[in-house]
Amino acid sequence: MDWDLPTPFVIDIQVEASSIDHYGHVNNAEYLRWVERASWAHSRHLGLSLEDYRALDRGMVVHRHELDYLAPAFEDDRLQLATWIIACDGRLTLERRFQLCNVASSRTLLRAHTRFACIELSSGRPKRMPPRFVEVYGDAVSAG
């Protein structure tokens, strides 16, 4: 695959009938679900799970999503969704990029960018990242 940045974290997606909308292609909201799935999978891969978030009383919540839909996907398509952490300020924010490709054609179907903010789960208020987040997410920032 011709990824936008080097060394992506990649998940495989098989488009199911439940993802298809009235126009016969993947519903736009499904792409956002896949972006969320890739984010969680990457965090777990890096060593941070939902249980870790709860134990630390911190979470990274979406502040802003930008999704650029470039081409449609259809039922039974095999896709790959790549993600990279492109910024981590070590205080409150983290940014990810995403690229969704069709495996058969290698065509990029979607590019996305998400900005996350750190909150205290018990209060819902913005709070500084704990050292574990800074270590894990900061070390994972893409050099590309």
Residue 34 in domain: yes
Task: Write down the pLDDT at residue 41.
Answer: 98
Distance CA 140, CA 46 (A): 8
Domain count, the chain: 1
Q: Which of 27, 13, 113 lies closest to 62, judged by CA? A: 113
Q: Is residue 121 part of a domain?
A: yes
Mean pLDDT score across all residues of the chain: 96
Q: Domain containing 48 — which CATH number?
A: 3.10.129.10
Asked whether residue 36 is domain-assigned, the answer is yes
**pLDDT(144) > 70:** no
Q: What does pTM read for this prediction?
A: 0.95
Q: What is the mean pLDDT of residues 110-133?
A: 98
Question: Does residue 36 carry a pLDDT above 90?
Answer: yes
pLDDT tens digit sequence for 72-84: 999 999 999 999 9
Can you tell me the mean pLDDT for 21-45?
97
Over residues 109-120, the mean pLDDT reads 98
Please report whether residue 24 resides in a domain.
Answer: yes
Q: Assess if residue 4 is contained within a domain.
A: no
Question: pLDDT confidence of 1, banded at 50, 70, 90?
Answer: confident
**Residue 3 resides in a domain:** no
Total residues found in the chain within this entry: 144
Residue range of the domain that includes 87 = 9-139
Cα–Cα distance, 99 to 97 (Å, whole number): 7
First to last CA, the chain: 16
